[in-house]
Amino acid sequence: MAQSFSEETMHVAGVELRMIKGGSGKPLLMLHDELGFPGWMTWNETLSHDRTLLIPLQPGFGKTPRLEWTRNYRDLGGFYSQVLREMRLDPIDVIGFSAGGYIAAEMIAADPRIFSKMTLVAPMGIRPEQGEIMDIFPVTIRTHLRATVADPLNTPEFLKIYGGEMTPEQFELFEDARAESARLAWEPYMHNPSLPHLLRDLRVPTLLIWGTNDKVVPRGSIDIYARVIPGAKVATIANVGHRPEIENSHEFERIVSEFLGK
């Protein structure tokens, strides 16, 4: 079966940015999570039938050089905003996962016109009133990975990505990602206290997706996002954790496709 995506290096916003591209149709920006892009999954393939997926590989995550001037996720969001402006893609639909959702939220807080529709999947960025975002840095990478799904043994794509022995290259990429995430979001930990205030009165269609067994981002974070963004919709997927896109890809694809439309 022919590969349905490609990877290229783009000189944009002052950096050599690695970009995954796949599909056809209206562009959809994907912002990956704090562990990096895990690979082209079933949900990517399904959405790419109607959309052109654009997946930048975050600076400092191995393939794209680190940006020394970025000090937090707001800075990183500013960088991605520059990328979209230079590529003349704004406004664009976006889907952000975990820390990628945090980045998307920072981007739209700074420029409400940058996105047409916004999908945030288990987004970090807002500290819940009860519970805490999981502290991923004191644990091993294997413990961190295991916590992202409710039932890894019955999640084939999780086993495809992370099963078996970890190669030295995989381990190094994970550690690069964790080191960069820590640099950007150690204090305050994986949230911005001002973000809920900056998102108020936002008039962009927003969908929040959360798995009922998520051990990384508590429901309280989702509730605050839903409270401060007018009209935001919340879709829960039962019996999955922090990675609903691979734990129940069929339901995930249905929810996202209905929200985004053609």
Reported as a single tens digit per residue, the pLDDT across 133-152 is 999 999 988 888 899 999 98
Q: Which has the minimum average pLDDT: 35-49, 164-178, 182-196? A: 164-178
**Average pLDDT over all residues of the chain:** 92
pLDDT in the model for residue 174:
83
In terms of Cα–Cα distance, which of 217, 206, 221 is closest to 240? 217
pLDDT at 208 over 80: yes
pLDDT at 225 over 70: yes
Which is more confidently placed, 142 or 218? 218
Strand 26-31 and strand 51-56: the pairing is parallel
Quote the distance between the C-alpha of residue 191 and its chain's center: 14
Cβ atoms within 10 Å, residue 188? 10
| Residues contacting residue 105 through CB under 8 Å, at least 6 positions apart | 96, 120, 123, 125, 126, 195, 199, 225
Counting the structural domains of the chain, the total is: 1
Distance, CA of 60 to CA of 88 (rounded, Å): 24
pLDDT at 237 over 70: yes
pTM: 0.94
HSE toward the beta carbon, residue 46, CA cutoff 13 A = 15
What's the pLDDT tens digit per position in 20-39? Answer: 999 999 999 999 999 999 88
What's the pLDDT tens digit per position in 53-81? Answer: 999 999 998 788 899 999 999 999 999 99
How confident is the model over 246-259, as a mean pLDDT?
Answer: 96
What's the pLDDT tens digit per position in 91-115? Answer: 999 999 999 999 999 999 999 999 9
pLDDT in the model for residue 9:
94
Give me the CATH number covering residue 82. 3.40.50.1820
pLDDT in the model for residue 164:
63
Please state the three-class secondary structure of the chain as a single string: CCCCEEEEEEEECCEEEEEEEEECCEEEEEECCCCCCCCCCHHHHHHCCCEEEEEECCCCCCCCCCCCCCCCHHHHHHHHHHHHHHCCCCCEEEEEECHHHHHHHHHHHHCCCCEEEEEEECCCECCCCCCCCCCCCCCCHHHHHHHCCCCHHHCHHHHHHHCCCCCHHHHHHHHHHHHHHHHHHCCCCCECCCHHHHCCCCCCCEEEEEECCCCCCCHHHHHHHHHHCCCCEEEEECCCCCCHHHHCHHHHHHHHHHHHCC
Distance, CA of 126 to CA of 134 (rounded, Å): 13
Torsion of CA 228, 136, 31, 206, to 10 degrees: -20
Domain ranges, residue 110 = 5-260
pLDDT at 1 over 50: no
Distance, CA of 43 to CA of 127 (rounded, Å): 28
